[in-house]
Amino acid sequence: MRTTQETVDVVVVGGGTAGHVAAIQAARAGVTTSVIEAGSMLGGTMTAGGVWMPNHFFTKTGPVVQGIPWELYTRSKEIEGLPVPDYRRRRPVETPGYYSYINVPVYAALAEAEAVKAGVVLHYHEFVQDVSAVGDLWEVASVGRGVRRVTHAKEIVDCSGDSDVVRILGMRVLKSKVSQPGTLQYKIGGIETEQLWKEEVQALYEEAMRDGVLRKGDWAYANMEPFLYYLQHGGHNATHIYDADTSDADGQTRADIEGRERMLRIFRFVRESIPGAERARIDFMAPHALARETFHTVGEYTVVKDDFVKATDFPDKVCNAFNYIDLHSQAIGCEVSFIDDPEAIPTVPFRALIPKGSRRITVAGRNVSANRIAFAGIRAQCTCMAMGQAMGAAAALAVQRGVASRDVDSRDIVALTVEHGAVPV
Ligand SMILES: Cc1cc2nc3c(=O)[nH]c(=O)nc-3n(C[C@H](O)[C@H](O)[C@H](O)COP(=O)(O)OP(=O)(O)OC[C@H]3O[C@@H](n4cnc5c(N)ncnc54)[C@H](O)[C@@H]3O)c2cc1C
């Protein structure tokens, strides 16, 4: 195995939803930046995971997340030859804001090209295994096939989704006793939706559940929507994997196997039993199952439900967190609750992105310090990307000023992101 060394100002661990934006922001701000990513592309859950629906860039009345995420989104639409829809005319009833869709190959390739153009050094297929402090530098050990890398960096942004670096360093993390179920993304095509009769497919679904042909969780939204909805959406984003914990390889393997079992069971049922679905086929399956939540970092502040629903005006806010509370559970299925005041825009405080008692390391994305209910609102992709942009800026400013990221004023972080197109908060 080849052993190699690298020295950068900022290392971003995990090039997913938050991480790709963090890296582009840090590099565009002028510091040397690398990404260590276990997968084969940027974007994580929003690309490789098959959750291609980032929300929310806009409320009904104005922008909440812009900057690098919006730039990549709009440029990907240009490449696809599609207009960027006017947010004021999009789905005003179903969701509280602008719901958008990316084309995964286009978005992932564009994000990668922009990262490379900004000077980000990308290392795909590598897992971070060990992290230690050596004087004023971090030593980050990662392993990929045939390569063992030691990266020295002044700042780390942990965007692993499962607080990997924070856990390796033995810092505090939080895991809910009842975590939200996970999902394996897949999509069934070839269903002739015009042949579906709502009452008939509902009766067939209920009979299959009674007879044990289908199991609870195969159709996750049964408490909210009729089975017709599953068929109309080809089963995308529609299955629950209970207790999915993808924070290590054993848990990931179990979730992958259960996700595929569920996919195959319901696909057989649909194709064999639903009139109009005889020619159904599975068009897409993500390479791995996803968890909605595993280990949150315990930060200098933990965002709680009231902060989210009442939109606490944090003195150290770094980005917006506009979304509904999207809580999935084994007991109920899915509960969605909207914030009463449409003008209330929750935000993320810098302290929720600083691991408690740490220096020179921040987190972004799913790692954010938040309790169960607040987390069900904050974890949306646009917020994760905005957190990434803010922490990329914090790391860059820290390096340029010769201080630790935690000592950078949150107003300076926001100012730098605004220079790069973000919405002022
Ligand atoms: C089933 C499901 C449906 C969802 N639906 C929506 C939706 O419709 N709209 C929406 O806005 N949000 C949705 N969300 C929420 C949102 O997608 C996630 O919260 C968000 O994408 C998480 O971003 P992240 O950057 O924290 O993690 P990820 O995007 O998962 O990125 C983490 C990255 O880190 C890498 N990594 C992990 N550990 C290591 C390591 N040790 N070394 C190197 N790399 C590592 C991973 O490979 C991955 O690429 C959904 C989530 C799920 C699971």
18 lies in some domain:
yes
Q: For residues 148 and 243, state if they share a domain.
A: no
Encoding tokens for residue 312? 């606490």
pLDDT at 94: 60
SS (H, E, C) 22-37: HHHHHHHCCCCEEEEC
DSSP-assigned letter for residue 291:
-
pLDDT at 233: 95
If you measure from the C-alpha of residue 268 to the centroid of ligand 1, how many angstroms do you get, rounded to a whole number?
Answer: 29
Q: Position of tokens 């004087």? A: 135
How far is CA 20 from each of CA 120, 267, 423, rounded to the nearest angstrom? 10, 34, 19
pLDDT at 206: 98
Whether 217 is in the pocket of ligand 1, judged by its Cβ within 6 Å, is no
CA dihedral 404, 322, 255, 127 (to 10 degrees): -20
Ligand 1 atom with the shortest distance to the CA of 323:
11
Instruction: Quickly list DSSP for 339-350.
Output: -S-TT---EEEG
Grouped pLDDT means (10 residues each) for the chain, 425 residues: 97 98 99 98 98 91 94 97 80 66 97 98 98 96 98 98 98 89 97 95 98 97 95 96 94 97 98 97 98 96 95 97 89 82 90 97 98 94 98 98 98 98 97
- Give the chain's length: 425
If you measure from the C-alpha of residue 199 to the centroid of ligand 1, how many angstroms do you get, rounded to a whole number?
Answer: 36
Question: CB within 8 A of 385, min separation 6: which ones?
Answer: 17, 18, 21, 54, 65, 68, 69
Residue whose CA is at the smallest distance from ligand 1 atom 19 = 379
Q: For residues 378 and 396, state if they share a domain.
A: yes
Ligand 1 atom with the shortest distance to the CA of 290:
53
Q: For residues 115 and 244, state if they share a domain.
A: no
Q: For residues 171 and 191, state if they share a domain.
A: no
Whether 167 is in the pocket of ligand 1, judged by its Cβ within 6 Å, is no
Whether 183 is in the pocket of ligand 1, judged by its Cβ within 6 Å, is yes
Enclosing H/E stretch for 198:
helix 198-210
- Our count of domains for the chain comes to 2
Residue whose CA is at the smallest distance from ligand 1 atom 1 = 183
If you measure from the C-alpha of residue 401 to the centroid of ligand 1, how many angstroms do you get, rounded to a whole number?
Answer: 31
235 lies in some domain:
yes
If you measure from the C-alpha of residue 366 to the centroid of ligand 1, how many angstroms do you get, rounded to a whole number?
Answer: 7
pLDDT at 95: 64
Whether 18 is in the pocket of ligand 1, judged by its Cβ within 6 Å, is yes
What does residue 5 show for φ and ψ, rounded to 5 degrees? Answer: -120, 150
If you measure from the C-alpha of residue 54 to the centroid of ligand 1, how many angstroms do you get, rounded to a whole number?
Answer: 11
Q: For residues 75 and 200, state if they share a domain.
A: no
| Nearest C-alpha neighbor of 106 from the set 69, 78, 85 | 78
| Nearest C-alpha neighbor of 386 from the set 150, 56, 5 | 56
Q: How far apart are CA 215 and CA 223, in angstroms?
A: 14
What does residue 423 show for φ and ψ, rounded to 5 degrees? Answer: -80, 130
Q: Is the dihedral of CA 380, 60, 343, 412 positive or negative?
A: positive
| Nearest C-alpha neighbor of 335 from the set 220, 423, 251 | 220
If you measure from the C-alpha of residue 384 to the centroid of ligand 1, how many angstroms do you get, rounded to a whole number?
Answer: 9
Q: How far apart are CA 234 and CA 188, in angstroms?
A: 4
CA dihedral 21, 27, 30, 32 (to 10 degrees): 140
Biggest alpha carbon distance in the chain?
68
If you measure from the C-alpha of residue 14 to the centroid of ligand 1, how many angstroms do you get, rounded to a whole number?
Answer: 9
409 lies in some domain:
yes
pLDDT at 339: 77
Encoding tokens for residue 67? 């900057």
Q: For residues 267 and 303, state if they share a domain.
A: no
Residue whose CA is at the smallest distance from ligand 1 atom 13 = 380
Question: CB within 8 A of 415, min separation 6: which ones?
Answer: none
Q: For residues 10 and 99, state if they share a domain.
A: yes
Ligand 1 atom with the shortest distance to the CA of 43:
29
Q: For residues 22 and 159, state if they share a domain.
A: yes
Whether 381 is in the pocket of ligand 1, judged by its Cβ within 6 Å, is yes
Q: For residues 202 and 113, state if they share a domain.
A: no
Q: Which amino acid is at 349?
A: P
Are β-strands 2-13 and 33-36 bridged in parallel, bridged antiparallel, or unpaired? parallel
Encoding tokens for residue 290? 């996803």
**pTM of the entire predicted model:** 0.97
What is the tally of helices (H) and strands (E) in the chain? 11, 15
64 lies in some domain:
yes
Q: Exposed/middle/buried for 184, CB within 10 Å: 0-12, 13-18, 19+?
A: buried
Q: For residues 162 and 192, state if they share a domain.
A: no
141 lies in some domain:
yes
Question: CB within 8 A of 55, min separation 6: which ones?
Answer: 95, 97, 98, 99, 100, 323, 380, 381, 382
Residue 220 lies in domain: 186-285
Whether 392 is in the pocket of ligand 1, judged by its Cβ within 6 Å, is no
Whether 377 is in the pocket of ligand 1, judged by its Cβ within 6 Å, is no
Q: For residues 314 and 268, state if they share a domain.
A: no
Are β-strands 325-329 and 333-337 bridged in parallel, bridged antiparallel, or unpaired? antiparallel
Best substitution site from 41, 160, 245 to test ligand 1's pocket, by max atoms within 8 Å of Cβ? 160
The total of other beta-carbon atoms located within 10 Å of residue 245's CB is: 19
Q: For residues 153 and 300, state if they share a domain.
A: yes
Domain end position, chosen among 285, 306, 331: 285
Whether 127 is in the pocket of ligand 1, judged by its Cβ within 6 Å, is yes
